[in-house]
Amino acid sequence: EGKLYFVHLFWGFACQDTITFKDKQLCKFFKTGDHVKVVTGKHEGVTGMVVKVEAHILVVLSDTTKEDVSSVS
């Protein structure tokens, strides 16, 4: 029922904790100001800065055209 992933949390050189989660629990997180590259869809290949985040939709200011493009995160 989904792959399990383990994330080891380190402070200095010692592992302090391990978090286990299923692949369905993992999601991307973007915030305004992040620099991103669109990897699939209509705007594939566009790079730019995130100017707005609404649910799973990002508005990205393109580096090359300086126009806003919307993409699903």
pLDDT band, residue 11 (cuts 50/70/90): confident
Average pLDDT, the chain: 90
pTM over 0.75: no
> Starting at the edge strand that comes first in sequence, how are the strands of the sheet with 68-72 ordered?
35-37, 47-54, 57-62, 68-72
Counting Cα atoms < 13 Å in the Cβ hemisphere of 20 gives 3
Is the pLDDT reported for residue 48 higher than 90?
A: yes
Whether 35 shows a pLDDT value over 80: the answer reads yes
Q: What local confidence, expressed as pLDDT, does residue 64 receive? A: 95
Mean pLDDT, residues 63-68 taken together: 95
Q: Is the pLDDT of residue 1 over 80?
A: no
Looking up tokens 């792959």 gives 3
